[in-house]
């Protein structure tokens, strides 16, 4: 067992079901000079596994119901050999609020100096932010791709039913969108669904 | 928004956290049936996945109020296992509502060791002691029981029941925390032999044919405060009028829930995917107190399975707070002190409830005189917890 009050490298356990976020967090922690990192994606038998890893710091995402399992470690119990206290005290509400906003919580071994943990928590909060940005970019890309597909389909319908070429079909969609004050993708969507309705 | 009733022309936004369980009924109905809106409250209900999240978000102010385990409200006010944040409970969201469910194999083992009717908790606890002893002799691993949180009624109900039969919950059993959505899976794959949890999870396990409901917790204690509407004490002092409106909305909701004619509508509201998200039929069993207890289709009924508004259930009872504190002392979670007892009692606020909803009705006929109604042991006395705990030999030394 490492001595949490010495300068020995901290053992960090990351519990996160999302493999991408797990990887982003691990990379961030390694960049920050933390080498002793264990990643857990599956929380089956969590207490036993924490037991064998014997971490100084545990990081868990808030969407994980197993956070409640960690709370059991505060209890006087023969399953637990080492009490782990949550990284919360009256003076640190801002950091905790920031972590909860970012969607993450951290637990530390009792007696570990908060300065040593702050860098880890700050890193975690920023990496969770990075993941959120990546995810919303991905969602934007996905919906842009979907819109492009709908526009293609609407163009095809117009080309076939009105005998237009591709450019003219797109022009018609754009003109309609402008005159109705709607987005081209929305006009295309209405056209495709109306077309499906008439065809069925 | 203008409400005819109050004449206010702005509505107060509130964020309230909840866990998808049947005992969040009064809160969900207060919001979805429009009682909160009629009080000028614009409530955003936030569905959470863990009690730790609910507690922390309430404590740091991301929630204005929350559906919270009654013992967590007390533990938070005492600073147990966590930073101290004083909490008030001006409305009780439910009494009872949990059940103890065991695997088919354990049910069979208990039955064959039972000296009488296994639905009697005295009989089942004694049978458990014999099963535990037999496993020890055979060199088998101890039985594992799941419950929801260290500071939970489930934890205390399980401990109270098994200790009465001579089973030490820390020495003879592995008692582990499991998030409610993982309970059924854990009993299916053999990680636990039994669990104590609220609705709908017991019914889900029975419906799958893998478990029996052994006891409704109301068979162990007639009255046990399960979930409360919790607010931070400092929030309450800054927003006394908003709190009054919130209590009124809950009072109307609890009354609505208990009117049998509304039950179908209530179950439909609760079954929505962003609320409890299980079928209306399963929720109905809970509210009706008529549960399928065995895979063969046996049903058991109780008029006190989950009490939301009837039998004085909604009015916070400080005796309940004292009983929960006594369990924390018994199991080594808290030291015994008059100061801590006083703080625990002050978490439950019948005075705030009465101010809005009127003076309490006299105790309903058949309700326990001590306010708890345990199936075994002397009557509970909030004034002398030390003497009350003295006869119990299975307990932890005070921390």
Domain co-membership, A53 together with A123: yes
Neighboring chain A residues of B178 at a CB cutoff of 8 Å: 69
Domain co-membership, A120 together with A27: yes
CB contact under 8 A, A79 and B53: no
CA A185 to chain centre: 28
Q: Model confidence at B3, in pLDDT bands (50, 70, 90)?
A: very low
Domain co-membership, A177 together with A80: no
Nearest alpha carbon to residue B18 among B10, B29, B6, B8: B29
Higher pLDDT, B187 or A92: B187
Higher pLDDT, B375 or B398: B375
Q: Which of B85-110 are b and which e, b meaning 16 or more Cβ less than 10 Å from the residue's Cβ?
A: bbbbbbbbbbbbbbbbbbbeebbebb
| B372 within 8 A of B380, measured Cβ to Cβ | yes
Q: How far is CA A6 from CA A9, A63, B118, in A?
A: 9, 33, 56
Q: Which two tokens stand for residue B37?
A: 């809106």
CATH topology of domain B12-95+225-284+306-389: D-Maltodextrin-Binding Protein; domain 2 (3.40.190)
Distance CA B179, CA A68 (A): 7
Flag whether A3 is in a domain: no
Residue B269 CB-half CA count within 13 A: 20
Distance CA A25, CA A28 (A): 5
Taken in order B243, B249, B251, B257, the sign of the CA dihedral is negative
CB contact under 8 A, A68 and B396: no
Span B72-89, pLDDT tens digits: 999 999 988 778 999 999
DSSP reduced 3-state for A109:
strand
Distance CA A50, CA A73 (A): 10
Flag whether A5 is in a domain: no
Work out how many CB contacts closer than 8 A connect A with B.
81
CATH number of the domain at A157, please.
Answer: 1.10.10.10
Helices (H) and strands (E) in chain B, counts: 17, 13
The minimal CB distance from B49 to the residues A65, A71, A76 is found for: A65
Flag whether A122 is in a domain: yes
Residues 6+ apart with CB under 8 A from B256: B29, B33, B35, B262, B266
| B245 within 8 A of B31, measured Cβ to Cβ | no
Measured from the Cβ of residue B25, the count of other Cβ atoms closer than 10 Å reads 32
Domain co-membership, A24 together with A93: yes
| B81 within 8 A of B59, measured Cβ to Cβ | no
Flag whether A25 is in a domain: yes
Label each residue of B30-44 as H, E or C. HHHCCHHHHCCEEEE
Domain co-membership, A98 together with A174: no
Measured from the Cβ of residue A138, the count of other Cβ atoms closer than 10 Å reads 11
Flag whether A1 is in a domain: no
Domain co-membership, A106 together with A16: yes
Measured from the Cβ of residue B351, the count of other Cβ atoms closer than 10 Å reads 10
| A191 within 8 A of A154, measured Cβ to Cβ | yes
ipTM value for the complex? 0.89
Distance CA B122, CA B192 (A): 23
CATH topology of domain B98-223+289-301: D-Maltodextrin-Binding Protein; domain 2 (3.40.190)
CATH number of the domain at A95, please.
Answer: 3.40.190
In terms of CA atoms, which chain B residue is nearest residue A70? B177
Q: Model confidence at A1, in pLDDT bands (50, 70, 90)?
A: very low
Arithmetic mean of pLDDT, A11-36: 92
Q: Which of A64-76 are b and which e, b meaning 16 or more Cβ less than 10 Å from the residue's Cβ?
A: bbbbbbbbbbbbe
Please give the pLDDT value at position B2.
41
Flag whether A7 is in a domain: no
Arithmetic mean of pLDDT, A166-183: 93
Neighboring chain B residues of A76 at a CB cutoff of 8 Å: 332-333, 396, 399
Nearest alpha carbon to residue B211 among B189, B237, B240: B189
| B215 within 8 A of B99, measured Cβ to Cβ | yes
CB contact under 8 A, B82 and A89: no
In terms of CA atoms, which chain A residue is nearest residue B147? A69
Average pLDDT, chain B: 94
Please give the pLDDT value at position A117.
78
Range in A2-16, B151-165, B371-385 with the lowest mean pLDDT: A2-16
Final residue of a domain: which of A84, A117, A136? A136
Beta strands in B157-233 (DSSP E): 173-177, 194-198, 211-216, 225-232
Q: Which two tokens stand for residue A110?
A: 């009792």
Domain co-membership, A128 together with A30: yes
Arithmetic mean of pLDDT, A150-179: 93
Residues 6+ apart with CB under 8 A from B277: B20, B271
DSSP reduced 3-state for A29:
helix
| B210 within 8 A of B104, measured Cβ to Cβ | yes
Query: Is A77's pLDDT higher than 70?
Result: no
Neighboring chain B residues of A64 at a CB cutoff of 8 Å: 49-50
In terms of CA atoms, which chain A residue is nearest residue B48? A63
Distance CA A14, CA A16 (A): 6
Arithmetic mean of pLDDT, A130-139: 87
Span B286-297, pLDDT tens digits: 999 999 999 999
Q: Which segments of chain B belong to CATH 3.40.190.10?
A: 12-95+225-284+306-389, 98-223+289-301
Measured from the Cβ of residue B361, the count of other Cβ atoms closer than 10 Å reads 9
Span B361-384, pLDDT tens digits: 888 889 999 999 999 999 999 999
Domain co-membership, A147 together with A97: no
Domain co-membership, A115 together with A131: yes
Please give the pLDDT value at position B107.
98
Range of the domain at A55: 12-136
Number of domains in chain A: 2
Omega before B200 cis (within 30°)?
yes
Q: Which of B15, B51, B52 to mutate to test the interface with A (most CBs of A within 10 A)?
A: B52
DSSP bridge partners of A106: A59
Domain co-membership, A50 together with A120: yes
DSSP reduced 3-state for B212:
strand
Measured from the Cβ of residue B186, the count of other Cβ atoms closer than 10 Å reads 19
Domain co-membership, A161 together with A126: no
Numbered residues of chain B with Cβ closer than 8 Å to any chain A Cβ: 49-53, 56-57, 60-62, 81-83, 148-150, 170-171, 174-182, 191, 332-333, 396, 399
Distance CA B179, CA B244 (A): 33
Q: Which of B255-289 are b and which e, b meaning 16 or more Cβ less than 10 Å from the residue's Cβ?
A: bbbbeeeebeebbebbbeeebbebebebbbbbbbb
Distance CA A151, CA A125 (A): 39
Domain co-membership, A117 together with A174: no
Which of A153-162, B62-71, B172-181 holds the top average pLDDT?
Answer: B62-71
Q: Model confidence at A46, in pLDDT bands (50, 70, 90)?
A: confident
């Amino acid at each position: 067992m490492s001595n949490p009050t010495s300068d020995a490298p901290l053992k960090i356990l990351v519990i996160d079901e999302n493999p991408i976020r797990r990887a982003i967090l691990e990379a961030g922690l390694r960049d920050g000079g933390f080498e002793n990192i264990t990643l857990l994606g599956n929380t089956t038998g969590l207490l036993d596994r924490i037991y064998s890893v014997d971490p100084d710091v545990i990081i868990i995402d808030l969407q994980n119901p197993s956070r409640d399992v960690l709370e059991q470690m505060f209890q006087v119990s023969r399953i637990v050999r080492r009490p782990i206290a949550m990284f919360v005290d009256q003076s640190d509400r801002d950091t905790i609020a920031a972590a909860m906003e970012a969607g993450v919580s951290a637990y530390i071994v009792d007696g570990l100096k908060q300065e040593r943990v702050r860098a880890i928590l700050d890193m975690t909060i920023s990496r969770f932010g990075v993941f959120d940005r990546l995810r919303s970019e991905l969602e934007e890309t996905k919906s842009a791709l979907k819109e492009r597909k709908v526009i293609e389909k609407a163009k095809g319908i117009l080309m076939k039913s009105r005998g237009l070429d591709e450019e003219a079909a797109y022009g018609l969609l754009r003109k309609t969108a402008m005159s109705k004050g709607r987005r081209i993708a929305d006009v295309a969507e209405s056209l495709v669904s109306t077309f499906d309705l008439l065809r069925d | 928004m203008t409400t005819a009733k109050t004449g206010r022309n702005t509505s107060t936004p509130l964020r309230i956290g909840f866990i998808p369980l049947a005992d969040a009924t009064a809160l969900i109905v207060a919001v979805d049936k429009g009682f909160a809106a009629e009080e000028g409250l614009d409530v955003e209900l936030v569905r959470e996945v863990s009690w730790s999240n609910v507690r922390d978000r309430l404590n740091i102010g991301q929630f204005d109020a929350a559906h919270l385990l009654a013992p967590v409200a007390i533990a938070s006010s005492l600073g147990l296992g966590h930073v101290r944040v004083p909490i008030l409970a001006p409305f009780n969201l439910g009494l009872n509502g949990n059940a103890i469910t065991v695997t088919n194999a354990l049910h069979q083992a208990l039955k064959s060791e039972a000296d009488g009717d296994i639905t009697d908790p005295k009989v089942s606890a004694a049978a458990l002691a014999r099963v535990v002893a037999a496993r020890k002799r055979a060199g088998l691993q101890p039985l594992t029981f799941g419950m929801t949180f260290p500071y939970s009624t489930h934890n205390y109900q399980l401990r109270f029941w098994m200790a009465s039969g001579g089973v030490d919950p820390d020495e003879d059993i592995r008692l582990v925390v499991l998030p409610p959505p993982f309970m059924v899976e854990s009993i299916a794959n053999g990680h636990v032999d039994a669990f104590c949890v609220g609705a709908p999870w017991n019914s889900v396990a029975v419906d799958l044919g893998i478990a029996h409901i052994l006891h409704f917790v109301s068979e162990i204690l007639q009255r046990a405060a399960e979930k409360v509407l919790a607010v931070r004490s400092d929030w309450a002092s800054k927003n006394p009028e908003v709190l009054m409106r919130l209590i009124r909305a809950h009072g109307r909701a609890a009354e609505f829930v208990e009117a049998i004619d509304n039950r179908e509508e209530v179950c439909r509201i609760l079954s929505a995917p962003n609320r409890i998200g299980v079928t209306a039929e399963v929720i109905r069993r809970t509210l009706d107190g008529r549960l399928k207890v065995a895979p063969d289709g046996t049903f058991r009924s109780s008029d006190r399975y989950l009490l939301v508004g009837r039998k004085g259930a909604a009015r916070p009872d400080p005796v309940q707070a004292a009983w929960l504190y006594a369990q924390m002392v018994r199991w080594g979670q808290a030291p015994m002190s008059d100061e801590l007892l006083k703080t625990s009692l002050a978490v439950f606020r019948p005075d705030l409830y009465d101010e809005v909803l009127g003076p309490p009705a006299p105790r309903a006929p058949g309700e326990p005189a001590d306010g708890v109604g345990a199936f075994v042991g002397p009557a509970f006395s909030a004034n002398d917890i030390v003497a009350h705990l003295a006869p119990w030999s299975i307990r932890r030394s005070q921390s």
